[in-house]
Amino acid sequence: MTTAPGATPTIVLVGHGMVGQRFLEALAERGLTATHRVVVLCEEPRPAYDRVALTSYFSGRTPEELSLTDMRFIDDHGIELYVGEPAETIDRGAKTVTARSGRVLGYDVLVLATGSYPFVPPVPRKDAVGCFVYRTIEDLLAIEEYARTKARTGAVVGGGLLGLEAAGALKGLGLTSHIVEFAPRLMPVQVDEGGGAALLRTIEEMGLTVHTGVGTQEIVTDSSGAVTGMRLSDGSELATDLVVFSAGVRPRDQLARDAGLTVGERGGIAVDERCRTVSDPDVFAIGECALAADGRVYGLVAPGYEQAETAAATIAADEASFTGADLSTKLKLLGVDVASFGDAHGTTEDCLDVVYSDARAGLYKKLVVARDGTLLGGVLVGDAEAYGTLRALTGSVPPVSPESLVLPAEAGSGERLGPSALPDEAIVCSCHNVSKGAIRRAVGEHRCTTVPEVKKCTKAGTGCGSCVKVLGRLVDAELAASGVEVDKGLCGCFAQTREELYEIVLALRITAYRDLLDRHGREGARGGEGCETCKPAVGSIIASLAPTIGASGYVLDGEQAALQDTNDHFLANLQRNGSYSVVPRIPGGEIAPEKLIVIGEIARDFGLYTKITGGQRIDMFGARVEQLPLIWSRLVDAGFESGHAYGKALRTVKSCVGSTWCRYGVQDSVRMAIDLELRYRGLRSPHKLKSAVSGCQRECAEARSKDFGVIATASGWNLYVGGNGGAIPRHADLLAQDLSDAELVRLIDRFLMFYIRTADRLERTSTWLERIPGGLDHVRDVVVHDALGICDELEQLMRAHVAHHRDEWAQTVADPEKLARFVSFVNAPDTPDPVVAFVPERDQIKPDLPLLSIGLRPADDVLEGSAPR
């Protein structure tokens, strides 16, 4: 690198995606941002964001939440970031880069991180109106707008990783969705025939139509040039209004080609083991645009991160090389866990397959094992819980039999393999190449005692996140082995766990938070105000035990009101623009026409946005705080009560129509759902509770995705516990089967009270069931077989709750003193909050929110008013 005497050397980075941002961080870690001028040309109108989680935009994650760019980091390190400013040409002789705006940047080191572009098959009319690719946030915004206004049916060309995500996004947008894959199975690169079949069954059960073994011949359009269908290679025609091409990617190497840099025969900028281009030692290429020294273009983020580290180390004159990468992947596609690792297809000579398949449950697990017992690779579909451990053991002989690694717990031989069995050299975090030994050193040598501290120290778990569960177990095991005493107290105010505080409140009949803090808080906390961690936790404990300990169960009564979170404080859910949503309880989803009319009239009179939820309720959004009591009064008069959408309590008991109407139903699921919801309404718990009752094994109410779910059998009811949907879905486990009505209710009473008694703060039943020693077997021993002799007490606690339940909305509207809190401004109670504003959308309203600013340096050719600032 040649620099004029006294001048600051310049590093120019072309491309600011995930790999580009990691390169900047690697420069900063080595102090190069202090000794070099660093300039970034970013083609997209926004800086680096999490492209791996792109589809989460359709589930409510905003572009700002997807961002990977901390502008404070950019500013603190003096990085010049130009968004909306792509590089147009490179002059290697003059060592300059010219941007689209005409800006000319000289460089001492040039790093190309231009990524890849979507491959669109060369079919006729591929650019028709209604055809899209699936690569950037802007692509998603365009798809969303077109789907909302002009489409009812969508088709995705490609059944790989992004193709399945795109199909799920279209389905989430309300479109009838199709997947067209030329290969004979879905995800042909990652999974084998058996895994593809399991994946196909699960996806088709979700309502998507899959066409495999066929290609797209042409796009069919109408007279205006808009998509109306696709003609397939088997001669059939598929009617569709929208087409998304997701048939793979190609390296973006045209800029390098034009500059005379060597590229591979099938694309990719050729680099050596230090990520230098083979044509020019002052030019590097990293990520999906680079053809590595082993002749591969890596399309995963983890190899890109490793290349970014290698390039930064080379620039800093440190020893580093990139000689290949682990291609293991773990994803959740359409809610289905899919993972592959090592030699997943068994290409190694003289290897054996160990396979477990359960078509009914959508499970498929295959391990590829050498004759000497060495684990070579595998495929997991439907359950990838063991992925982190199995991937780390690849290349070694596991200490247990291969069969025990794929069989479910209830069918296994009893042998189980945890992360503690991994050798120190096993890679736990492939994104950042962190070994088990590095994690142990973080705990032992660097005194890290929590997972967040280990993440900060090693970067493990900060990439795709698939290793976080293994990471947590390793940290716990290492702490236990080293004899470190970890503070398990609820917070800085209490040395006791939530479970211990529950027992104290119950045994001593403590009815006030301040009394508990003064008598049992840490010495320095006594006489204080407490904190935002323990106040709502203790408030929940007191509320759940209120009838038994002689406390008021009304959360706005006296001291209790000061303990509540914002939502509980106003008995409604705070929304993003400062308004509130109101959710009345509709037990079992059953509602009479007269009550429907009342909800409609209230929504009309108060100008509220209405939406039917997945929990069979009707949400009304947009209420100002002073309107809440007025709305509740009308609902209470019509026979409604609070649905506790705001509380850590029972939300809903969903149901199908059951034997009353359905020809497949074997039990009256609606009646049972109503009985259960009315019994457990208002029950305060460590986290929210959801339930469902299905009238037959067809499971239309999705009971196995709930905290407690009930499925009808010809002989009664099966009870499942510990399930949940959300970001980390988990199927509930069977606790007991063929129960009578009375047996079912008794076991649910016990289960819920045992959970409330022993769970941690904000711990869902699914997490609690996996954490509690002994897991499901222990819970079954306690709840079904009364192994601890506490079932009578648990049932008594539940009977007390049922007998003393009072509706919080009705209590509030009947208390003038409590009504005084429902104002936007205490000193001007009649003044509405001017920030709460709305604009029309689809015959209703939506929040009127200003665009968020993120403080970027705009390109010169973009009007300042239109560029992100």
Residue stretches of the annotated binding site: 656, 662, 696, 700
Which two structure tokens, joined as six digits, stand for 662?
A: 């359905």
| CA–CA dist 204, 70 (Å, integer) | 40
What is the DSSP secondary-structure string of 385-427? Answer: TTHHHHHHHTTS--SS-HHHHHS-TTTS-S----GGGS-TTSE
- Cβ-in-10-Å burial (0-12, 13-18, 19+) of 742 comes to exposed
DSSP annotation of 687: S
* Helices assigned H by DSSP within 521-668: 534-549, 560-563, 566-570, 593-606, 628-637, 658-661
Determine the residue type at 376: L
Instruction: List all residues 6 or more positions away from 209 whose beta carbon is below 8 Å from its beta carbon.
Output: 176, 177, 178, 179
| CA–CA dist 496, 760 (Å, integer) | 11
- Other CB atoms within a 10 A radius of the CB of residue 354 amount to 18
Instruction: List all residues 6 or more positions away from 414 whose beta carbon is below 8 Å from its beta carbon.
Output: 404
Q: At what angle do helices 451-458 and 468-481 cross, to 10 degrees?
A: 110
- Long-range contacts: 257-266, Cβ < 8 Å, 24+? 258/89, 258/90, 259/89, 259/90, 259/91, 259/92, 260/92, 261/92, 261/285, 263/291, 264/291, 264/295, 264/297, 266/297
Residue ranges for the known binding site for siroheme are 700
Half-sphere exposure at residue 151, Cβ-oriented, CA atoms within 13 angstroms = 31
Residue ranges for the known binding site for [4Fe-4S] cluster are 656, 662, 696, 700
CB 570 within 8 A of CB 628: yes
| CA–CA dist 432, 90 (Å, integer) | 31
- When computed from its CA atoms, the radius of gyration of the chain, rounded to whole angstroms, is 30
| CA–CA dist 197, 173 (Å, integer) | 26
Phi–psi pair at 54, nearest 5 degrees: -55, -40
* Closest alpha carbon to 352 in 375, 374, 370, 325: 370
CB 499 within 8 A of CB 505: no
What is the DSSP secondary-structure string of 152-172? Answer: SEEEEE--SHHHHHHHHHHHH
Q: At what angle do helices 741-758 and 775-783 cross, to 10 degrees?
A: 120
* Helices assigned H by DSSP within 206-342: 254-258, 301-315
| CA–CA dist 110, 13 (Å, integer) | 6
What is the DSSP secondary-structure string of 735-782? Answer: EEEEE-HHHHHHHHHHHHHHHHHHPPTT--HHHHHHHSTTHHHHHHHH
| CA–CA dist 153, 174 (Å, integer) | 9
- Cβ-in-10-Å burial (0-12, 13-18, 19+) of 482 comes to exposed
CB 245 within 8 A of CB 158: yes
